[in-house]
A and B are shown apart, each in its own frame.
Chain A
């Protein structure tokens, strides 16, 4: 399993998708830093410090949201054809015939990609946080749990992508996972709107979308962990808008997410085990 994991890890390094993602990340952080710089300069002229803090919190939420978006896409595009593509191009023939269990191929690939995604997400998160603190002195709470949640989000998408690639063609899997991701994202936004109105129907729609794919729920939880300290009413204003969190997912949702990933991987192992290569 470790041999396959090592190859998967190195494969991402060799794929252009990571180079492209790193370049885009650097460009994003540079632009984001520039936006922070000008925002801080212009906010200094404001007479209302409350407004300045809300703006900083909002911009940090946008950064986190875009970061989780980039990590999720990287997870999907790295693994979308890892089994189906290798079956289609004939690379898998010589691997499956080796003295290893098929489950080791699925889990090894998952481990390799997961390690790479977790490293990338951690670097991204800490860079973003460092940049915001350097420019705005924004103090946030729960950095460690938030970091873990930030790293967990691409792993949720990775597990469902692994299930897809063990069943569908590369193209079919890509379309299916991105549609699920869209449902999860839109559902998450609807749930926040439902909490503000308030509307139980919209909240329920959001919960159902999180049950279908609990990716956006992880973002909402991490955003709430960092920015919604109950002793700071200003943060409540900062959490308004599509990237903030009015209704944080419960611990049960976190447990559901872990179970969701485990079941997706088990189904992936089962499907690949039964698949004719």
Chain B
């Protein structure tokens, strides 16, 4: 596991920032951390990258305890609400951060064009960072995080200031990093983005992880199937009800809920076996957004 946390806790006086966070993130994947505003996402990321001191618990990154300098050389971090030294030029800013990573001048010269190319940022070498647009600042922030060719990358809201095209480019960068065997810890509000790229996700609310696991497992809890059927018979309906968890019949429109994907063709077979005419069958997997909302609401009702 490239990230392991055990009962990691951050308290601000009596207020809970994060409590008893136990996470395991396997290497070589994009991991998504989700949660409503104020849930403790940034607190967790800040603890992992060394900005906040945990109140209790332990964590290991790349096999080393939190704060290990050797491990940090292999970690890239794009903070949320960051700002860079506005009076530096793009080239000076990248060189400064490369120097903080302990990169040699040769490495720095070689790496800067590579990362700028990765984030599609050109012609900024002599431009002052203060004159960058928000999108350009975000891109150079990602470029800085990529400078040491990190094994583990923490991205806190990486697409917050980007237009749709920029978001797509970031998604492509993330997928390329995954292909290259890197691990990305992605903290994002954009559920569609997380759903498109992440293998594992954790949902955090009120400082606690309330769901954690593989995306496909979390989303495979139920599949909603909408059908349009002619010649519906009571026997057909009875057999359909045996096959699915719920079935709503509204004239020719049927909405069934099944537990696993294999049940979907079974529904079609029951209908045709009973002489029904199947005009339409649309399976709809629970979206991450639905899962997120229901999980957060369940958590709030439980409180």
Using a CB–CB cutoff of 8 Å, the interface residues on chain A facing chain B are 3, 7, 11, 14, 89-91, 93-101, 274, 276-277
Contacts and interface: CB of A to CB of B under 8 A. Distances in A.
Contact of A277 (B51, B84, B87): B51
B100 to A, nearest CB: 4
Interface stretch (B74-82, B174-182, B234-242, B248-256): B74-82
B53 interface: yes
B73 A277 contact: no
B100 A90 contact: no
A241 to B, nearest CB: 43
Contact of A94 (B70, B87, B102, B144): B144
Given A3-B99, A91-B82, A91-B83, A97 B52 contact: no
B72 interface: yes
Contact of B85 (A7, A93, A96): A7
A93 B70 CA distance: 19
Contacts of B82: 90-91, 93-94
B100 A11 contact: no
A94 B46 contact: no
A276 B101 contact: no
Contacts of B210: none
A276 B96 CA distance: 23
A220 B59 CA distance: 54
A100 B96 CA distance: 13
Contact of B51 (A7, A96, A99): A96
Contacts of B101: 98-99
B96 A96 contact: no
22 contacts: A3-B96, A3-B99, A3-B100, A7-B96, A91-B83, A93-B79, A94-B77, A94-B82, A94-B84, A94-B144, A95-B100, A96-B50, A97-B49, A97-B72, A97-B75, A97-B77, A98-B97, A98-B101, A99-B72, A100-B100, A276-B53, A277-B51
Contacts, number: 61
- Which 7 residue pairs are nearest across A and B when measured between Cβ atoms? A93-B79, A99-B72, A98-B100, A277-B51, A97-B49, A3-B99, A14-B87
A51 B181 CA distance: 84
B81 A98 contact: no
A89 B85 CA distance: 10
Contacts of B79: 90, 93-94, 97
User: What is the size category of the interface that chain B forms with chain A?
Assistant: 20 to 34
Given A89-B83, A93-B82, A276 B102 contact: no
Interface string B43-62: 00010011111000000000
Nearest to B78: A94
A276 B84 CA distance: 19
A11 B87 contact: yes
Nearest to A88: B83
Interface in B83-98: 83-85, 87, 96-97
Interface centre among B51, B75, B82, B87 (most CB of A within 10 A): B51
Contacts of B190: none
A67 B298 CA distance: 68
Contacts of A11: 85, 87
A188 to B, nearest CB: 37
Nearest to A99: B72
B102 to A, nearest CB: 6
Given A94-B77, A94-B144, A99 B87 contact: no
Contacts of B99: 3
A90 B82 CA distance: 5
A101 B72 contact: no
B114 interface: no
B69 A100 contact: yes
A99 B150 CA distance: 12
